[in-house]
Structure formats: C-alpha cells, structure tokens
Amino acid sequence: MMSGMDEVFKALADPTRRQLLDELYKHDGQTLTELESRLPMSRFGVMKHLKVLEGAHLVTTQKRGREKLHFLNPVPIRLVHDRWVSKYAEPWAATLTGLKRRLEDENGEA
Amino acid sequence: MEKHEGGVALAPGDTTAVYEIYIKTTPERLWEAITDPAMRARYTFGVQVQSDWSKGSTYTSSVPGVIDISAGENLEVDPPWRLVQTMNALWSDDVKAEGTSVITWEIEQVADSCRLTVVHAQLRPDGNGEIYGGWPMILSGLKTLLETGEDLTTPGSLLYSGASA
C-alpha cells in the first residue's frame, strides 16, 4: 500500500480517470458535483473513478465547511519520474546551471 | 474560515494546492527533517531554514550569502504533528509580487509510516506557479532521505551546491 506504484499505474490506465486528473489540473479543488458536470457520466461513475484515484493517492481531499474538495496530488507521479529519470536528468541540469552561471559571470565582467 | 478535525482551514474562494506523501519513518524523524537546517538543505537544493520554532516566531529560508528564498511566521507549532507557516517568496521580483500564502504541514502516523500532507493555501488566483511548483520534487527528496539516508539527485538538486564558492 505504501509504495503503491501498481495502484498509480492502474489508476492512470483509464481515459476517464486521466480526464478527471486533467480537470483537476485545470482547476484544482473541485467538488464531486463540479466534476460530475464536466464528464458525460453518472455521479456514481465519477465517484467510483475518484475512489480509484484516491486509492493511488493521485487525488487527495480536503474539507471546506461541508464540502469535500478534490485536489490533484502530483507527488506519486513525481516518484515514478524520480525512480527512472532523475539520475539521468541531473547531469543536464548541473550543466545548464553551470552554463547559466558562466554566462552571467561573463555578462557581469563585460 | 472553517475548520475540520485535525485539519486545515480553507476559506471559500481560496486557491489551494495539496500534496500528500507516505514516508516510512517516525513522526519525530519527519519533524526533524522539516525543521533542522542541515537535513532540510539536503532535499531543498541546498536551501536552509532558520527558526527557533516557537509559536509566533519567524523563519527564513535561504542559501546563506547567495539567495533568499522565503520568509514568514510560524503560526502554529505542534511537534511532531503540525506546523502552520506564512510564506513570502523572495527568490525573484515576480514571486515577491505574489504576496503572503499559508503552508500547513500535517503529519499522521499510519502503521509503520507517516502520511505527510502539505497544504499550500491562500495562493493568488491564477498566480505564479513557481510558488508551489517545487513541492513534488522536494517531498520526493524528503522521502528518499528519510527512507535511505541518501540524497535524491533530481534536476536542480545541485543548483546551489558550491554556489557560495
């Protein structure tokens, strides 16, 4: 449950659930009613998909008064990224940072 | 402002970002990693946070002598469970214009792990995403540090290494 990468991939392997994440990416912190209005789907269907997304921690909820707001939690996707990508990306970032610093130093001297 | 149990006050119309991560550690270790300058620097690209962590105290985040990142007030300090801070970003003129937001760190113990929730609230609607865009990378690095004792190499993690040289 804690590592949960299987849940993340399963949750993402469905176009409706990806669409729900798209909706939250566009406008974070929506109620079930708001999300339901954006998808051609029953309230029950949206609830079912949200439950899968919550189980994968891709969606997290906070209460505002009596409303339950749904938020996109990008952290599990970041963990997937960091597992396979980051060590390769780092030298690039370091090089670019070094390049930026050199260029700025040159500008400073000019 | 409404409150829910153990929770975060979200005001109507508030623009908020919420991040959640499970980390296999104790609440005490997690609290230390959030509040200790040296540990903090290991997953925040070299940025240190300085404060005495009393309620109502101030904090500053910076790479000393290189760049100021943010500053604010510690509104609630309840170790090792809850920390509420105001945040004024300082790293560029653009982010300075975003004004004051509020960050809530909440730690819950779940079996042998902790659930850390970071709620970044009172953001400016359609404001600059840089203000909260770094959280996934930071939290991923925090998880790696606590679970393996090692630094996570992510893009940007070397940003300020050797910058003071």
pLDDT tens for each residue of A30-83: 999 999 999 999 999 999 999 999 999 999 999 988 999 999 999 999 888 888
- Structural domains counted in chain B: 1
- Does some domain include residue B160? no
**Stretch A102-107: mean pLDDT:** 72
CATH number for the domain formed by residue range(s) A5-73: 1.10.10.10
pLDDT confidence bin for B164, thresholds 50/70/90: very low
Check if B15 contacts A (Cβ < 8 Å): yes
* Residue B116 domain boundaries: 15-148
- Does some domain include residue B46? yes
Q: pLDDT value at position A81? A: 83
- Does some domain include residue B52? yes
CB contacts of B136 in chain A (<8 Å) are: 74-75, 77-78
- Does some domain include residue B143? yes
Contact A86 B155 (CB under 8 A): yes
B120: domain CATH number? 3.30.530.20
- Does some domain include residue B155? no
Of B24, B27, B39, B15, the closest CA to residue B105 belongs to B27
- Does some domain include residue B162? no
Would you list the DSSP string of chain B?
A: -B--TT---B-TT-EEEEEEEEESS-HHHHHHHHH-HHHHHHHTTT-EEEE---TT-EEEEEETTTEEEEEEEEEEEETTTEEEEEEEE-SSHHHHTT-EEEEEEEEEEETTEEEEEEEEEEEPTT--THHHHTHHHHHHHHHHHHHHSS----TTTTTTTTTT-
pLDDT tens for each residue of B17-37: 999 999 999 999 999 999 999
- Does some domain include residue B68? yes
Question: Across all residues in chain B, what is the average pLDDT?
Answer: 89
* Residue B144, CA distances (Å) to B29, B35, B64, B134 in order: 13, 17, 25, 16
Check if B22 contacts A (Cβ < 8 Å): yes
What number of CA atoms fall less than 13 Å from residue A32's CA on the CB side?
16
Q: pLDDT value at position A38? A: 93
Contact A93 B136 (CB under 8 A): no
Q: How far is B137 from chain A (nearest CA, A)?
A: 7
The separation between CA B112 and the C-alpha centre of its own chain, rounded to angstroms, equals: 23
- Domain range annotation of chain A: 5-73, 85-110
- pLDDT for residue B13 is more than 90: no
Question: What is the complex's ipTM, to 2 decimals?
Answer: 0.77
CB contacts of A78 in chain B (<8 Å) are: 136-137, 139-140
pLDDT confidence bin for A1, thresholds 50/70/90: very low
Q: How far is B10 from chain A (nearest CA, A)?
A: 5
Q: Choose the closest CB to A62 out of B10, B137, B153.
A: B10
Check if A71 contacts B (Cβ < 8 Å): yes
